[in-house]
Chain A
């Protein structure tokens, strides 16, 4: 059900929400959080709402969309309430703010927050320079940004580092979880040796690749090189060098990866790129500050950028495919020579 409330106020919205609950049963009971989506009014707004609705199947919430419209118009608040089939397991309130009001989103959001439950703010596209100082950001315990969706992703990540406050998080980090889990699991197996150096290869403008490299530097305390990939999407390859042989996780096509490590046959790993709704659902699962992310951000500057894409990442998988038996030994020898 979609209810339009043109040129309205938040108290009218609130009383409409209460009436809807009375009429439609307990639709708003049991919500665990309020998710505030901040975006410019436009076509992309609906894509963000859809992602939030999907995520709400895991975390029923009240979604407040702050869509900032034309600044030159007369100040006005148009609202739209979506419940039931149009809103997943959530209830969505879209606030379209025009004129001077466009800058005063926080004042419109405040009366609509659910009592005594966490508030999460999400900027699906362009985010403020310092989310924690933004008026809406200040209402929220947790502030989600998405560096990859900004015009200059690498620069956006740099801004995140400069303005990090506990409670900040970025979907570029969320997209890494599967990679990080796979790499951590690979180090659970013998040989139990220290990693001596690591290399991460990915698209030039992939902030996740940068973050992965930074996380590895932070955790492993070794030099990590970041290379630009000539082909592939997002993160393409990670190699962890150890005296006893290297761990090599390679995803050439953005879908299926190959994991090779000493003492284990090389295996394919499903590593499909994660959708925004998946990432958002993961973000909403944790509402406490992510200290590991903070650590990774801090280490961004320690990552050495490789100018030329390394020859090795291209070569190694081809070799493995051609000669699975000898490939491992050959790589092992090379790793030894390198260390």
Chain B
């Protein structure tokens, strides 16, 4: 008998591009299964994967929560979540196959007995469904509960894989609230699960448009020559949400927009936009480039001029009256939590020296949009009359991450007529126009990658720590000097005046996305 390492499956052929990658035998355990994320994203994603034939025949799904549920009750919850939120049509045969592997374990995180019964539940799944001792643990729980859960997993013998088996743990943001706590969290998790089996979910990285940044940059000849400080004036990375923070006080108060979004999503986007070409698309090579660019990135000083923060006040937004942060339930009336954060980064490499990267995020802004805009310098000489180019702005390449995924290029064009007049026009590539309406959800891709053990779309501990190293000085400065002041902005606008001031000081301005 050959071993797994030497075995070459005769039915697999690299030329056979139709053959989907099906995950091997495995079970997924979700902690915090009653949460919103689990219902709206994880369960539908699992069904969609099954429907696309990408899950192994004997897949097991185990829910772990405090609720007093039987397997059937949990199955009903999954069923309803799938019916309501799944992307692909509901198919009874697929559901039946999936439902056979659904289990529920009731208990709290400090309950030894519950974890023992989880262990026996998984052992039973291995025997009945052939999940092969391969288990992924999805911790959809607050980070404060991580130590308890990972240690319980260790105690119950669930963290230790035997032989060919694997154990993986999936965690979500926040990955700490500063460098120190992030290191501590990494240590806690790594004590039980080695780093190669830790999968940190940043669902942005599962989005097709974000992966397309790599294709756009490294598969095309068109952009590379201008992708540097000779041609690029500055880069703006925006993630705006139109919703407020009602009901999320417990998580958000004291954390704020900067920690919540800039540390992970925006700095990851920055890394993808700014990094050098990886030697290959192997996870290790990709990560090496990301780490390199993050370690060259610093927040630009002086912080009182290069950063901005704000807090939304009530008002009318999109036809509805909305409360300000301080009136939202759960927030202290004196809360100093920022709901808008913006920073300026410099990337100290030859390619990017002198090009500011502006990062901003906020709640209750003009509309929900995430985009990366690479704004180019003006042409050094314009052989037109001044009046001809009055309306000409700077060329820009915008990667629209969501919604309306695609790429926009803005450039000047002659206005029809008998005078020479140049005005900005845009050229649009819409993902939905050129490809699919039905491209997989980010969580589908990421969950499948976890089961396949394919780590390239998951930030590793050093990336997380480097992001905190970039952000920590700003956060400390804000806490110490209270400058720039925490300004109020009206719901439905694009942030506080200090945000405009931070770009205006170098003669630039934010794009209206």
**A residues lining the B interface (CB < 8 Å):** 26, 29-32, 57-60, 89, 174, 177-178, 180-185, 187-195, 216, 219-221, 244, 255-256, 259, 263-265, 267-270, 272, 282, 286, 288, 290-292
- A180:B19 contact, CB within 8 angstroms: yes
CB distance from B36 to the nearest CB of A (A): 28
- B11:A189 contact, CB within 8 angstroms: no
- A60:B130 contact, CB within 8 angstroms: no
Given contacts A177-B19, A188-B24, A190-B4, contact A267 B58 (CB under 8 A): yes
Q: Does B142 contact A (CB under 8 A)?
A: no
Q: Which of B200-208, B279-287, B295-303, B433-441 contacts its partner?
A: B433-441
- A193:B2 contact, CB within 8 angstroms: yes
CA distance A267 to B97 in the complex (A): 8
- CB pairs A–B below 8 angstroms (27 shown): A26-B428, A29-B430, A58-B435, A58-B436, A89-B432, A89-B437, A174-B18, A184-B19, A187-B10, A189-B24, A189-B132, A192-B3, A193-B1, A216-B11, A256-B96, A265-B58, A265-B129, A268-B57, A268-B96, A268-B100, A269-B97, A270-B50, A270-B94, A286-B17, A291-B15, A292-B15, A292-B18
- B9:A184 contact, CB within 8 angstroms: yes
CA distance A30 to B433 in the complex (A): 5
- A57:B11 contact, CB within 8 angstroms: no
- B97:A270 contact, CB within 8 angstroms: yes
Beyond A29-B428, A181-B20, 13 additional pairs, beta carbon < 8 A: A32-B435, A58-B435, A60-B433, A177-B19, A181-B22, A216-B11, A256-B96, A265-B58, A267-B130, A270-B53, A270-B96, A292-B15, A292-B16
- B18:A286 contact, CB within 8 angstroms: yes
- A270:B93 contact, CB within 8 angstroms: yes
Question: B19: which of A30, A181, A220, A268 is its contact (CB, 8 Å)?
Answer: A181
Nearest chain A residue, comparing its CB with the CB of B9: A187
Nearest chain B residue, comparing its CB with the CB of A216: B11
**B residues lining the A interface (CB < 8 Å):** 1-4, 6-7, 9-13, 15-20, 22, 24-25, 50-51, 53, 56-58, 91, 93-94, 96-97, 100, 127-130, 132, 164, 428-430, 432-438
Chain B's interface: helix, strand, loop or mixed, by majority? Answer: loop
- A265:B128 contact, CB within 8 angstroms: yes
**Residues on the B chain within 8 Å of A286, using CB:** 17-18
CA distance A291 to B19 in the complex (A): 13
CA distance A305 to B131 in the complex (A): 37
Nearest chain A residue, comparing its CB with the CB of B164: A190
**Residues on the A chain within 8 Å of B437, using CB:** 57-58, 89
- A59:B436 contact, CB within 8 angstroms: yes
- B53:A178 contact, CB within 8 angstroms: yes
**Residues on the B chain within 8 Å of A60, using CB:** 433-435
Q: Which 7 A-B pairs have the closest CB atoms?
A: A30-B433, A192-B7, A264-B130, A184-B11, A58-B436, A192-B2, A30-B434
